[in-house]
Amino acid sequence: MNTKVIFHCLGISQKKYFMNFVIPIAILAILFPIIILLLVPSVMEGVLFVGVMLVPIALFSIVIIYPISSLEGKKKEIDNNIHYYITHMGVLATSQMTRVDLLLKLSHTEAYGYLAKETGRIYALIYYWHVSFPVACRFIAQRTPSILFSDFLDRMAHSVQAGQDFREFVLSEQTVVMKDFVTMYQDSLNSIDMIKEMFISMCMSLIFIVAFAIIMPIITGMDSILLLGGAIVLFIGTEFVILLYARSKVPADRIWHTLEIETTADRRIKWSMPVSLLLCIIVTGIVVPFSKLPTTILFATSLTPLLLTGLIARTEENKIKRYDNNFGAFIRSLGGAAGSRSGLILESLKELISHDFGPLSENVNNLYKRLRTRLSTPRSWEHFAAGTGSNLIERFATMFVEGTNVGGKPALIGDIISHNFMSILSMRKLRYSSASSLIGVLYGMTAGIAATMFLAVSIIAMLAKMFSNVSIPDIDIGISIATISATNIPLMTTMLMIMMVCHSLMSAMLIRIVDGGHHFNTYTHFVGLVWISALTAELTIQGMGPLLGM
């Protein structure tokens, strides 16, 4: 790995990093075990000795891992914003802005994160250090962590040196960069299938570990609750690690807007959560204690009120998807109409309010009313974006306003935004399709896990009942009858339901990570998966009872 790129991302020289971080941490790592040995000599024995020695190893690992993780984080941040960035550049290039002014404008756009910072570095090299435009671009291209951005900067430097018109270059790059972005997005979607296979195979393997933890005490005589607890921790811990891995691989494509304007949808979701939690407390504290329902069903019943928040978030999210489907046609029509009217947006919008843009029509009418007051054009468009709740509409509407305000050609801006908007939307639809297939797999797997776990519990319960009135012989007959008789079946059932609740939460979070929706939408599938677990568990217990003579 190129150390020049790593330390460029850290914003610190290699020498400073070693002086300020590596050397102090190395000294601390060496001194820590020595200090512990001098102050508490008894600690340096047995298992505690291993724990003390792991501290220096952890400190050295942090020194190595932190720069690499920082680089990967910034690379992902650039790649997740490059399609917005190139669209914004194309929109601004339709005006009479100079190359340097255009870079300054982009560097002040906070939504681009590290990409804006890299652009600001190019601007600083040109404006303050008087470096030529191609040299500044190549300097950053050699140090930026993103291959997509590096290749773009190299092409831009070459086009400027060759004397190509900058506007012509940026417009041609719309196709090149968007194709690179689509390829990157498709690779990320392909990794979803790999993550799905990994999640399923690991869960299938861990099912047997939990099942053995239930049955093994019969043979070994070990504490069944301790073994089961360890197996459950291993099961949930492994799922959590896969969840973190999935989050690092799946593209961070936000659906909801980031504006500070609070809409009706935001308020509805915001107040639904306290209501759901209050209902959960009421059900758990009042209904459950006086109910004669089985333990499995009680778990699902106590969590069901969370479905209220999940359904509200899901309903609002489906509305956003419908708004997104109609925005491309609207912005292209607005750009074309404004182009034929010498850039007069208000007059063009007045003509369009009679057109049908599906669910977006009401928002278009509200936008026209706000713009007609002539108070604040940017603020009016912000309210328009917030009303749709869409991050895509927020980003592209802002570009349209900025481009037209600096004298860009509305018709060309509308075409650029519409084309790139639809390219991103098509990738999103593939993502939703992957999430839909994942949902079916996870629901089926959850039912299988619950059936396997509670089948094992039913067998143990049958053996415990069988040997409950049997005198224990002194000879070894291959099974530990005392352990079977002392097995706490209700506690084991509760532990397994806790495991299934945790598994349902992890599965629901994986679905949210894959489709990129609102985190409150997690509760929809969470409650559904818990009910699948509870019903499958109860059907298994009730169905196996007559077969096992219980």
pLDDT in tens, 527-542: 999 999 999 999 988 8
- Among 27-41, 164-178, 212-226, the range scoring the smallest mean pLDDT is 212-226
Q: In angstroms, rounded to a whole number, what is the distance separating the alpha carbons of residues 177 and 187?
A: 15
Nearest CA to 124 out of 135, 136, 108 is that of 136
Burial of 431 from C-beta contacts in 10 A (0-12 / 13-18 / 19+): buried
pLDDT more than 90, % of the chain: 28
Highest averaged pLDDT of the listed ranges 9-18, 203-212, 290-299, 491-500: 491-500
For 221-276, how does the pLDDT look when each residue is reduced to its tens digit (9 = 90+)? 677 788 888 889 999 999 998 898 888 888 878 888 888 888 888 888 888 888 99
Tokens of 547: 């077969």
C-beta of residue 538 within 8 angstroms of C-beta of residue 294:
yes
Give the per-residue pLDDT at 486. Answer: 61
Task: Please give the model's pTM, rounded to 2 decimal places.
Answer: 0.86
Q: Is the pLDDT assigned to residue 378 strictly greater than 90?
A: no
131-166 exposure pattern, b = at least 16 Cβ within 10 A, e = fewer: bebbebbbbbbebbbbebbbebbebbbebbeeeeeb
Neighbouring C-alpha atoms within 13 Å toward the C-beta of 393: 29
- Tell me the pLDDT tens digit for each residue of 293-336: 888 888 898 999 999 999 999 999 999 999 999 998 899 888 88
Q: Which of 189-193, 277-281, 495-499, 528-532 has the lowest mean pLDDT?
A: 189-193
Look up tokens 């927020």; give the residue: 394
Q: Which two tokens stand for residue 243?
A: 């969840």
Are the CB atoms for 295 and 490 separated by under 8 Å?
Answer: yes
For the chain, which residues make up each domain, given as ranges?
Answer: 3-79, 82-164, 319-424
